[in-house]
Chain A
């Protein structure tokens, strides 16, 4: 049996991915290339924060010391956030936004499909509910990868550049952390290593259709799962935590 404290860590790893990506998308609201994409990206952000709340409410319950979802979300040090590095990458341009989303969404869906089989009923229920949303995310980001890849010369070049920069962050998904291994061995967590083949197949298929390619020589980057983040993370948290840090112990 996995101990509560490890299960909480496992849940934080999952919810931090959703939360930090949701936060990144939240920066874009009102600044998209047209109203329709603005609405769609905000919608994805909303889904991700909705999922975050379900996970964190559960984690807070497991913690059982009066902590709330907000304590769990806001009141940690940078190294205690366990999201993968990909989701904290900046909104450099719309191509980066779409590539980051697509590379995450494909993984996210495969992950949730496995998590929905978890022996932990809560996690399985959250995963099942999230799958419906994430299927839409995959479709949205995948469609845009195709439009940008096979659109104009400029869009092709921009999205290829984004892939070259962001692809090196994808292997982290499949590098199981200690806590992921623990969760997996107690049949609660997902075997992330097993997702890699299917992931590469799906992503390659779509990139090919979009006339895009993976960069050839890749040195993969990781560390987020261990709490070692990129330089961007401190700024994300400065915004995210601003109110809770400036006005501690208040309700909003």
Chain B
């Protein structure tokens, strides 16, 4: 293809996106679009399955049968999200095994929030409330993103995430209406999860590398800082209803802006966790790698068995 031809394909492509048309797997797309989408979608898929680990940590210890069932179902939903997102990502011409290799080798990133430990039951409430809450704010705009398979996956994912968010909040509410000890557990969880949740909305706009291109492709509709503000404005009143305190002394409603002002985020911590130095980075990756390595003989057996069945069918057919 000549350079001029590529230029005109690109122009048509950009125009289709501008007109809100969906790009489908078989459509022509610029290499950069494909790569960017593989990166973002796989990062999202990895986050779903790494996210199963901190919550899975409480399945055996859930405090009631009702909570245990809800938590099992939630973690199962996250596995399902991982599954759709990997499948959507595979439509861009990369295999699931390659994607796993990237995760296991540390080449691919996942949401840093899952590198924090779940040390009490209240953390399960806080994750649902804050982490799924922040995820929804990040993801709702993606239901209209330009890449068709991603947009459709997000519609389904977002529905379930808002269910998780309500369920997490309900755990917090139950704790806050319980004994002093339970309320303290809820406060402690908010103290530990608040700042990492704010960081989930991404680096500040002046440090974010991908924003402009992502806006054009509708991978983003608002900047990280706008999303963060939205999250804070939505979440602080919810903490007030719970009767627990957001751990930010500078947090204050600004009448003029109609929004909360808030204190500085420790970006040094954020970048350290991104680089692999968070409290659980190594455990999370090790858990994934060992599940994968220990499962190899199982996957091999399934392939060998399917092949034998196929051979038998061929033998009887001929």
A interface residue numbers (CB < 8 A to B)? 23, 26-27, 29-39, 42-43, 45-46, 49-50, 52-53, 56, 69-70, 73-74, 93-94, 146-148, 150-152, 154-155, 158, 239-240, 242-244, 247, 250-252
Q: Point out the residue from B53, B60, B65, B72 that lies within 8 Å of A69, measured CB to CB.
A: B65
Known contacts A42-B76, A147-B302, A154-B297; A240 and B291 CB within 8 A of each other = no
Which residues does chain A contribute within 8 Å of B80, judged by CB atoms?
Answer: 39
**A30 x B291 contact (CB < 8 A):** yes
The dominant DSSP class at the B interface is helix
B258 lies within 8 A of chain A by Cβ: no
**B69 x A46 contact (CB < 8 A):** yes
B282 lies within 8 A of chain A by Cβ: no
CB distance from B65 to the nearest CB of A (A): 5
Q: Point out the residue from A23, A29, A155, A239 that lies within 8 Å of B301, measured CB to CB.
A: A155
Query: In whole angstroms, how far apart are the Cα atoms of A12 and B52 in the complex?
Result: 31
Offer 19 A-B interface pairs, CB within 8 angstroms, sorted by A.
A27-B60, A29-B72, A30-B75, A32-B295, A33-B298, A33-B299, A36-B83, A37-B295, A39-B80, A94-B294, A94-B295, A94-B298, A151-B303, A152-B301, A240-B60, A244-B64, A252-B171, A252-B174, A252-B178
Query: In whole angstroms, how far apart are the Cα atoms of A251 and B72 in the complex?
Result: 19
Known contacts A35-B49, A250-B178; A23 and B60 CB within 8 A of each other = yes
**Residue on B nearest A36 in the bound complex, by CB:** B83
B63 lies within 8 A of chain A by Cβ: yes
**Residue on A nearest B50 in the bound complex, by CB:** A30
Query: In whole angstroms, how far apart are the Cα atoms of A242 and B72 in the complex?
Result: 17
Question: Which one of B53, B64, B299 has the greatest number of beta carbons of chain A within 10 Å?
Answer: B64
**B182 x A247 contact (CB < 8 A):** yes
The dominant DSSP class at the A interface is helix
**B60 x A70 contact (CB < 8 A):** no
B68 lies within 8 A of chain A by Cβ: yes
B276 lies within 8 A of chain A by Cβ: no
B216 lies within 8 A of chain A by Cβ: no
Question: Which one of A30, A239, A243 has the greatest number of beta carbons of chain B within 10 Å?
Answer: A30
**Residue on B nearest A68 in the bound complex, by CB:** B64
Which residues does chain B contribute within 8 Å of A31, judged by CB atoms?
Answer: 56, 287, 290-291
**B295 x A30 contact (CB < 8 A):** no
Query: In whole angstroms, how far apart are the Cα atoms of A121 and B304 in the complex?
Result: 47
Known contacts A94-B298, A155-B297, A247-B181; A26 and B60 CB within 8 A of each other = yes
Which residues does chain A contribute within 8 Å of B156, judged by CB atoms?
Answer: none
Which residues does chain A contribute within 8 Å of B171, judged by CB atoms?
Answer: 252
**Residue on A nearest B53 in the bound complex, by CB:** A30
**B308 x A39 contact (CB < 8 A):** no
Q: Point out the residue from A26, A150, A244 that lies within 8 Å of B308, measured CB to CB.
A: A150
**B297 x A152 contact (CB < 8 A):** yes
Which residues does chain B contribute within 8 Å of A252, judged by CB atoms?
Answer: 63-64, 67, 121, 171, 174-175, 178
Query: In whole angstroms, how far apart are the Cα atoms of A37 and B80 in the complex?
Result: 11
Name the 10 nearest CB pairs between A and B, nearest first.
Answer: A33-B295, A151-B301, A155-B301, A243-B63, A30-B52, A33-B298, A252-B63, A30-B56, A147-B305, A239-B60
Which residues does chain A contribute within 8 Å of B63, judged by CB atoms?
Answer: 243-244, 247, 250, 252
Interface residues of B in 63-105 (CB under 8 A from A): 63-69, 72-73, 75-76, 79-80, 82-83, 86
**B294 x A33 contact (CB < 8 A):** yes
Question: Which one of A52, A69, A147 has the greatest number of beta carbons of chain B within 10 Å?
Answer: A147
